[in-house]
């Protein structure tokens, strides 16, 4: 069958289950696309041989009684994969080969999928443009001079360019939703605790959450269903029964109340985004939902709060990279302390060092109360804003990001303007809520813009249903000219 990789994951699963295609045929096509897509720099590690073998094994002894039978999947290089290098986009882990597998990827493999490769990302998932990766920046498949977003930039680019049928990313402050918005793809950050964090390289443990990145909303439901679930190995995992998100997907949004927070109208936001937001409201209204103006008064404090809490946790999580237990070790230095210092100086990139410095500072005695403790209190207020609003509404609609994909290099040397890109995504992580980004239109440069839906805790099904109904009306189509193959 030709042009398999243009199809959605849901269609491909259907074709495999009805025996119209074989896993090997499918895998070969995605390997070929990935090889032709080298200019995008979406991969850090290719595991095409493993994928090819797994596909052959599947075809010899197929099992169709699972969600992702015979499907090759490339994943963000933050998920530890047994026997396959896992770098987190850092020099520090350049040669790190885990001897264990993350729970989330294990869940995907248990549903019949197998690994195609490891996708590029910002170093330790710290970034919004994939420019902090030690392995070079990723290029947006929609235009060769712009970033794909970050930190799951390789994942977003790979889905957008048909290098993988679907993928998974992680979202600590927007790293699934913002790159999805920049590449015209769908991305969902689940409720904190729905997907296990076990075996994912930690950035900020109270915020980190894995989630699907896909071409369509149905694909997103399918991936979420496959990857989520209670895990006793993660103490923050939620012990609840798995839901059938894909089976229960429907477009009925009649009577749902959708909140529009006035604080998400920020200065300097392009008119196109405002227009898109208005169109989103109209679509929901026409579908039978009720639009309600709401207020999330502490929104303006979310970004500064995030940039205290996240670096604080990162500085603690990254203390383990000492040149003794993991990965890179500097050969310089005359004693143990010098070895530690040189290892960390040479192994971490500038953005990671900046976060460690900020994190250490806000946690140090004398500053702890003024910064870290205060940020924790403000975090509670941000969460309370959402709790109060969710007494009145079922979901919230906002833009996903304050701009479309920006130029490579444009914000690289200006961390504040880079951080400002996360203004609409970080409040959700601070509050532990589920949220997703769906492609909603194009700006004047023909770059995609996304709309974000935010839900109550564990209301992923509601979000998926709203997104499913909007997707049909928006009828967004990516216009890809595959410049990288020319
Ligand atoms: N851009 C944000 C940051 O750099 C979010 C990153 C993420 O979600 N992993 O912290």
Residue 77 to residue 80: CA distance in whole angstroms: 7
- Residue 255 predicted with pLDDT over 90: yes
242 is catalytic: no
pLDDT digits (tens, 9 = 90+) for 158-198: 999 999 999 999 999 999 999 999 999 999 999 999 999 99
Ligand 1 pocket test target in 148, 151, 355, 430 with most atoms within 8 Å of CB = 151
- Residue 326 predicted with pLDDT over 90: no
State in Å: Cα 266 to ligand 1 middle: 20
Catalytic option among 175, 246, 404, 437:
175
pLDDT of residue 365: 92
Catalytic option among 151, 246, 315, 403:
151
Could you tell me if 137 and 232 are in contact, meaning their C-beta atoms sit under 8 angstroms apart? no
First to last CA, the chain: 23
CA 349 to chain centroid, in Å, comes to 21
175 is catalytic: yes
- Residue 443 predicted with pLDDT over 90: yes
pLDDT of residue 219: 98
CA distances to 76, 128, 451 from 175, in Å: 11, 7, 15
pTM: 0.98
Share of the chain above pLDDT 70, in %: 100
- Residue 440 predicted with pLDDT over 90: yes
3-class DSSP state of 331 = coil
pLDDT average, residue stretch 285-308? 98
CA 145 to chain centroid, in Å, comes to 22
State in Å: Cα 257 to ligand 1 middle: 30
pLDDT average, residue stretch 365-394? 97
Residue 430 to residue 378: CA distance in whole angstroms: 10
pLDDT of residue 50: 96
- Residue 266 predicted with pLDDT over 90: no
pLDDT of residue 486: 86
pLDDT of residue 325: 86
pLDDT of residue 395: 98
- The residue among 169, 48, 213 whose CA lies nearest residue 116 is 48
102 is catalytic: no
Alpha carbon dihedral 404, 405, 408, 412, in 10-degree steps, equals 70
State in Å: Cα 127 to ligand 1 middle: 5
pLDDT digits (tens, 9 = 90+) for 76-87: 999 999 999 999
pLDDT digits (tens, 9 = 90+) for 113-156: 999 999 999 999 999 999 999 999 999 999 999 999 999 999 99
Calculate Rg over the CA atoms of the chain: 21
Catalytic option among 76, 118, 189, 456:
76
* pLDDT bracket for residue 89 (50, 70, 90): very high
Mean pLDDT, all residues of the chain: 97
Give φ, ψ of 97 to 5 degrees: -115, 105
pLDDT digits (tens, 9 = 90+) for 20-58: 999 999 999 999 999 999 999 999 999 999 999 999 999
């Amino acid at each position: 069958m030709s042009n398999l990789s243009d199809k959605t994951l849901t269609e491909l699963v259907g074709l495999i289950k009805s025996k119209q295609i074989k896993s090997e045929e499918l895998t070969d096509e995605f390997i070929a696309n990935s090889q032709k897509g080298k200019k995008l720099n979406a991969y850090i590690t290719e595991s095409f041989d493993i994928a090819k073998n797994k596909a052959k094994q599947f075809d010899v002894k197929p099992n169709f009684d699972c969600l992702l039978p015979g499907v090759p999947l490339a994943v963000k290089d933050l998920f530890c994969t047994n026997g396959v290098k896992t770098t987190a986009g850092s020099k520090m882990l350049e040669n790190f080969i885990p001897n264990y597998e993350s729970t989330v990827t294990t869940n995907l493999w248990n549903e019949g999928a197998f690994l195609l490769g490891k996708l590029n990302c910002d170093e330790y998932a710290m970034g919004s443009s994939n420019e902090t990766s030690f392995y070079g920046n990723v290029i947006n498949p929609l235009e060769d001079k712009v970033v794909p977003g970050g930190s799951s930039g390789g994942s977003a680019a790979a889905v957008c360019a048909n290098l993988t049928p679907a993928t998974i990313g992680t979202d600590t402050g927007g790293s699934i939703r913002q790159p999805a918005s920049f590449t015209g793809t769908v991305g969902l950050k689940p409720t904190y605790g729905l997907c296990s964090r076990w075996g994912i390289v930690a950035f900020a443990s109270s915020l980190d959450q894995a989630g699907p990145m896909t071409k369509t909303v149905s694909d997103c439901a399918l991936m979420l269903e496959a990857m989520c679930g209670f895990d006793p190995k993660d103490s923050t995992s939620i012990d609840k029964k798995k839901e059938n998100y894909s089976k229960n997907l429907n477009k009925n949004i009649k009577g749902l109340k959708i909140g529009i927070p006035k604080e998400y109208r920020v200065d300097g936001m392009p008119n196109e985004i405002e227009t898109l937001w208005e169109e989103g409201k109209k679509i929901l209204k026409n579908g039978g939902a009720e639009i309600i103006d709401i207020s999330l008064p502490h929104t303006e404090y979310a970004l500064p709060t995030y940039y205290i809490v996240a670096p604080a946790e990162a500085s603690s999580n990254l203390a383990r990279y000492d040149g003794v237990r993991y990965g890179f070790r500097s050969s310089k230095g005359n004693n143990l302390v010098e070895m530690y210092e040189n290892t960390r100086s040479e192994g971490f990139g500038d953005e990671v060092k900046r976060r460690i410095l900020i994190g250490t500072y806000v946690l140090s005695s004398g500053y702890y109360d003024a910064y870290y403790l205060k940020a924790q209190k403000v975090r509670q207020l941000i969460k309370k804003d959402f709790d109060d609003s969710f007494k009145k509404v079922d979901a919230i609609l906002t833009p996903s990001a304050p701009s479309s994909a920006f130029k490579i290099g444009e914000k690289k040397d200006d961390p504040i303007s880079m951080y400002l890109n996360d203004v609409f995504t970080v409040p959700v992580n601070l509050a532990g809520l589920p949220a997703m980004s769906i492609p909603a239109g194009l700006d004047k440069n023909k770059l995609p813009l996304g709309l974000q839906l935010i839900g109550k805790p564990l209301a992923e099904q509601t979000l998926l249903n709203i997104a499913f109904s909007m997707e049909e009306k928006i009828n967004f189509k990516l216009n890809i000219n595959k410049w990288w193959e020319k």
